[in-house]
Structure 1
Amino acid sequence: MPFLSYFHPIVWIILTGTIFTRIASFMTIPFMAIYLQNELGASPLMIGVTLGVAQLSATVGGFIGGYFTDKLGRKFIILATVFIWSAVFIGFATVHVIGLFIVLSAINGLCRSFFEPATQALMIDFTEPKKRRRLFSFRYTAINIAAVIGPLCGVLISGMSSPKVPFFITALMYAIYGVFLIFLFKKYEMSQQKLAENQTIFQVFKVVIMDKKLLYLLAGGILINLGYSQFDSTLPQYINLNIENGVKLYSYLITLNAIVVLALQLPIGIYTEKISIIRSLIWGIIFFAGGLFVFGLAHSSWGFIAGMVIFTIGEIFAFPMMNALIEEIAPATQKATYLGASQFKNLGGFLGPIFGGWLLVHFEAQLYFVVALIVLISIIFYRKALSEKISHTGDRSYHQ
């Protein structure tokens, strides 16, 4: 079939595996706070620390995971990580001490920060440069398919059995995927341009932080993630304060977000292939900010629904392009390192809820207007990254 021949078989298998593993994690991670509260009797502070440490370790660990992926090879990092990850979820189901749970949560974040750059780099190794934008769009679609299916499976399984069972099932799914990958890697030859053997992580880190293009892209990504984090943090609180049956409306908005992504990802993805990456990203930022602005104006359910559609269109335009830009500027021997370093943009997801919560308390009416402006400022950093690329290489491909 022409469709299946578009990517290398190993790319399709990794994309399918992305759905499989993300369904597994979505069965458990969204319900972690409830599990900690009901099963371990954890305080709100300890729950916050447990969930936050996973984000923090993923942010810091991304560069380390990317470096070792380029240094030791995709195969080793992917297999080692997937089996450690399986053990972590067994730990979640069996540990009864909150301190150990926090340690496991940190390892969970590290596993994700190692696994994601490694699998992305592996798919890039087997994909022609002209097809890589569509690859990132397909990967984003795969994640959203899992985001719809996973939580539903988690609710269904928890309702029929012990709350620990989803953790065991997730562990089993990761282990099965790991065994499958062993056979896959035996069938296909893994080849890549590796880092020089004598290049230490500190030397690579110095090279990365001296790359102004990457730093500008990370700064822009932090601001976008700061805006996107309001979806999970301040938006449910804001709706609950201003709309009757706000919790019900917010649950509808989550579903609407997933439906719009699945419905529009392919047509928007095809359209973005006809324009430059930077133009796609700027369109995404404008839609993002527009959705936030509409949230600030909304006084009814229909206002929030309209805002969510606009917001989600921005998500579809922007998120795949953020990784595509990182991949495009990365040297051939440091693809995973740069993709791992891109995890630093998750600082926006860490700071966003704190900043948004402060705005909600002190400047509720202006909250989304302020955040929309911050998101728009990210365009300046992406433009600076573009000018750095042109000034150093004379390449104007981003403008096309």
Structure 2
Amino acid sequence: MKDVSGELAVQGGLKVYSRPVVLLLSATFILTVARALALPYLVVYFSQAFGLGVTDIGLVVGGALIVSSVLGVYGGFLVDRFSNYRILLGAATLFALAFAVAYQVASLVPFIIAIVVVNLSYAVIDIAVKSGIGFLVTADKRASVFSMKYTLTNVGYAIGPFLGVLCAKISPGLPFAVSALIGVAFVVLYSGMGERLPRGEGVARPNNDFARVLVHLVRNYRLVCFTIGGILSAIVFGQFTAYLSQYLIVTSTAENTYNIINYLVTTNACVVIGLQYLVGSRINQGNLFRMLMLGMLFFVVGLMGFCYAQTPVVWVLAMIVFTVGEIIIIPVEYLFIDYIAPEDMRGVYYGAQNLSNLGAALGPVLCGVALSLYAPQAVFYMLSMCVVVASLFYFLGSRRER
């Protein structure tokens, strides 16, 4: 086994991206492609294969995301108790098997369970990658590595659906089979090249049981504040295409909705891929809160741009501003959690942060309610209020001493 501890002492320049770090980032990219290849077409597959209506599909997809997010806290607990190498291999194996089951089964309940397991496995892999980065990379370099991770995630989400379309044209269930094969390929790759990371001096595996860990998390004022702030901010950016589609359907035609959403998705992907690393590498422990507030400001300006947009050009400009907020917020949230997490509980803290996915699931629901009760533009004022309240919780958490 290669000793990587010596690499931790020298992390200037390219040494930041040592072999273990590159492998962790590769896990993010490869498994994101596998997930994005199949999951965007769940709505169509549920409809074609199982005859579900739109309302039932929304409940099933949203419910699967919520269940996997909650169970992800326990996944973080396991990351702290076992080596990253074993966790990544185990979770990736489960990821591949779940996709294989989804491809094979013809009954609704087993299929839903398989999708929950896919989302849960992916969440555990994501937690293990972030925990590994926290161990391997010094604090002053983590923002740039987290930004690179998020960039690769977005590249994966750009590539995956394109491959999914090609597979779905051959057979509706083929994307699930290909995702399973990609998962198997990663397991084979990582089992041969992955490295068992050594623990730092004086850092032991936690002996507390899960119940005690949960009590610790709930009592941690800063973590609670950051988690609530993360849930509220995820309402805004977690599934922005969903609530923008809802708004556009109400205020314009289906054709215009399709065209505008295409422009916005493309714009978002280009800005994230082009600017994420450039912006993220300028974030550090000394400017975390200032950058966070700047990101929130970009969100509000972008939302107000959406509110008053009448032409595609204005929509695109508003999306550029909105996306800059997104590429600031993501690494800042990672670093906040990284900063407050005890060395031996990094995984479970990231698992708690993963609860922000609850906000992503709630966003379209809240916006749908707002659209049914108020004038359409009220959606963006509601979302702006979420940004303001999230900023308040971030402020409260950042001002409390560790």
Task: Give the TM-score of the pair, scaled to structure 1.
Answer: 0.92
Q: CA deviation at 1:328?
A: 0.9
Deviation digits for residues 71-101 of structure 1 (CA, Å, limit 9, x no counterpart): 1222222111111110110111111111111
Structure 1 segment 29-108 matched on structure 2, within 5 A: 29-108=39-118
Q: CA deviation at 1:351?
A: 1.8
- Is 1:130 aligned to residue 115 of structure 2? no
- Whether the 8 Å CA contact 2:74–2:348 is kept in 1: the answer is yes
Aligned to 2:168: 158
1:107 and 1:230, CA in 2 relative to 1: closer, same or farther beyond 3 A? closer
Aligned to 1:120: 130
- Whether the 8 Å CA contact 1:242–1:299 is kept in 2: the answer is no
- 3-state DSSP class of the match of 1:103? helix
Q: CA deviation at 1:51?
A: 1.0
Q: CA deviation at 1:262?
A: 1.1
Deviation digits for residues 218-243 of structure 1 (CA, Å, limit 9, x no counterpart): 11111101112451322012123334
Q: Aligned partners of 1:50, 1:107: CA distance in 2, in Å?
A: 14
Gaps of 5+ in 2: 1-11
Task: Give the TM-score of the pair, scaled to structure 2.
Answer: 0.91
1:113 and 1:266, CA in 2 relative to 1: closer, same or farther beyond 3 A? closer
Structure 1 segment 254-333 matched on structure 2, within 5 A: 254-273=265-284, 276-333=287-344
Write the letter of the residue equivalent to 2:185. I
* Identity among equivalent pairs (%): 26
Q: CA deviation at 1:62?
A: 1.7
Q: Aligned partners of 2:197, 2:286: CA distance in 1, in Å?
A: 34
Q: CA deviation at 1:196?
A: 3.1
- Whether the 8 Å CA contact 1:73–1:194 is kept in 2: the answer is no
- Whether the 8 Å CA contact 2:93–2:187 is kept in 1: the answer is yes
1:114 and 1:271, CA in 2 relative to 1: closer, same or farther beyond 3 A? closer
- Whether the 8 Å CA contact 2:243–2:363 is kept in 1: the answer is no
Task: Select 2:385's aligned residue among 373, 383, 386.
Answer: 373
Q: Once structures 1 and 2 are overlaid, which stretch shifts more, 119-128 or 308-317?
A: 119-128
- 3-state DSSP class of the match of 1:196? coil
Q: Aligned partners of 2:16, 2:82: CA distance in 1, in Å?
A: 29
Structure 1 segment 330-369 matched on structure 2, within 5 A: 330-363=341-374, 364-369=376-381
- Whether the 8 Å CA contact 2:28–2:126 is kept in 1: the answer is no
Q: Aligned partners of 2:117, 2:212: CA distance in 1, in Å?
A: 25
1:240 and 1:20, CA in 2 relative to 1: closer, same or farther beyond 3 A? same
Q: Aligned partners of 1:120, 1:274: CA distance in 2, in Å?
A: 17
Q: CA deviation at 1:3?
A: 5.5
Gaps of 5+ in 1: 393-400
Write the letter of the residue equivalent to 1:88. A
Write the letter of the residue equivalent to 1:162. S
Q: CA deviation at 1:105?
A: 1.9
- 3-state DSSP class of the match of 2:282? helix
Aligned to 1:384: 396
Write the letter of the residue equivalent to 1:250. I
Q: CA deviation at 1:183?
A: 1.4
Aligned to 1:251: 262
- Whether the 8 Å CA contact 2:16–2:137 is kept in 1: the answer is no
Write the letter of the residue equivalent to 1:104. A
- Whether the 8 Å CA contact 1:58–1:113 is kept in 2: the answer is yes
- Whether the 8 Å CA contact 2:68–2:120 is kept in 1: the answer is yes
- Whether the 8 Å CA contact 2:85–2:197 is kept in 1: the answer is no
Q: Aligned partners of 2:277, 2:362: CA distance in 1, in Å?
A: 31
Aligned to 2:236: 227
- Whether the 8 Å CA contact 1:66–1:336 is kept in 2: the answer is yes
Deviation digits for residues 260-316 of structure 1 (CA, Å, limit 9, x no counterpart): 111111221233349611111111111012111111111222221121111101001
- Is 1:110 aligned to residue 110 of structure 2? no
Q: CA deviation at 1:180?
A: 1.4
- Whether the 8 Å CA contact 1:27–1:152 is kept in 2: the answer is yes
Q: CA deviation at 1:188?
A: 5.0
- Whether the 8 Å CA contact 2:84–2:196 is kept in 1: the answer is no
- Is 1:13 aligned to residue 33 of structure 2? no
Write the letter of the residue equivalent to 2:313. W
Q: CA deviation at 1:49?
A: 3.1
Write the letter of the residue equivalent to 1:57. V
